Amino acid sequence: MVKVRHWTRPNAFKAQVNENDFKLVEEDLSEDLQQGEVLLESVYLSVDPYMRIYGDPIGEHKTMFGEACLKVIKTRNGEFPLGTLVLANSGWSTHYLSKDGKDLRSIPYDLGSLSPSLSLGVLGWSGLTAYFGLRILEPKAGEICVVNGAAGAVGSLVGQLAKQKGLTVIGFAGSDEKCNWLTNDLKFDYAFNYKKISLEDAFKKAAPKGVDVFFDNVGGDFFHEMVTKHMATHGRVSICGSISNYNDTEKHKFPQINMDILMRQLTIRGFTVYSFAKEFDTAFNDMVPLVKKGELICKETVFEDFDKMPVAFVGLFNGANTGKAVVKASSYP
């Protein structure tokens, strides 16, 4: 038997998430595998804001859902030899039993000397989200790009990719330390602490003629003010997330923005990265070399030990992480 630990979510979230929303459950899992089965141990697990609003707990224990990078520790499936690294939506669990391997995904590129954790971030859903979310904005050299949540897993990549396309990049984050990282390390042209400066004052300095492309991770008041006051004519907006609203218990009401969209001739588009599944290989072909050459910087906030899953998740909503937040559950190789 192998001792398996799950972080479960017994009840639906209510208002602000906190560590008490989760419960740790243990069970014994047989190592006596049937033909085709694969037993895996989690190496790195991902925590992401979308987990606050999407998805249902997994199985009888109501295990919190999510993606992990796992290693094969026992196998009766020829497609997954011992020691193989794979990705799976296995939830917040130390171990996972795949019945036939069909729910496991091979990492579709050579990691080389890179950490396997990057398969959950810059070379995973975060990177794909940044890549395609920026692409639909049709960015052009010389334009001005704004990204909020700019020091997060997605926003930090959006800004770098936009810079590589020749745009002036303006980022908004929640601390001076994060803003310094954006300008000094990631080479954003401007970075503003939204807790200390109004959008109006920021754009008087950085974009007095308006913003051409806006990648929105935050929603709420930020989105409303951008659309009604700061977008240039023919501006484009990509809606990736709305983290400012995820803990709301009721929907906020905003003044109508139809005429602002009309008069500025704006294009506003929401997207989910799964819509681009047929092009994932193209994105990885572009991004893997950039990461390996150090031209796409991917900072991680790594929480050591599986017990830190709730701490890591709650931290997403109070600014505890810079870049991608992951939990390291075991060593590899």
Give the mean model confidence (pLDDT) for residues 280-294.
Answer: 98
Maximum alpha-carbon separation in the chain: 67
pLDDT at 59: 80
Judged against a pLDDT cut of 90, whether residue 226 lies above it is answered with yes
Judged against a pLDDT cut of 80, whether residue 32 lies above it is answered with yes
pLDDT at 56: 75
Q: Please give the domain boundaries of the chain with CATH numbers for all domains.
A: 2-121+299-328 (3.90.180.10), 125-274 (3.40.50.720)
pLDDT at 129: 98
Q: Distance between CA atoms of 155 and 161, rounded to whole angstroms?
A: 10
> pLDDT per residue over 295-308, tens digit each?
999 999 999 999 99
> pLDDT per residue over 316-325, tens digit each?
999 999 999 9
* Run of H or E residues at 222: helix 220-225
Q: Distance between CA atoms of 229 and 231, rounded to whole angstroms?
A: 6
Q: Distance between CA atoms of 96 and 221, rounded to whole angstroms?
A: 41
pLDDT at 284: 98
Parallel, antiparallel, or unpaired: how do β-strands 144-148 and 105-106 relate? unpaired
Radius of gyration for the alpha carbons in the chain, expressed in angstroms and rounded: 21
Judged against a pLDDT cut of 80, whether residue 55 lies above it is answered with no
Predicted confidence band at 185 (pLDDT cuts at 50, 70, 90)? very high
pLDDT at 11: 86
Give the mean model confidence (pLDDT) for residues 126-155.
Answer: 98
pLDDT at 233: 98
Give the mean model confidence (pLDDT) for residues 17-22.
Answer: 94
Helices (H), 59-154: 125-135
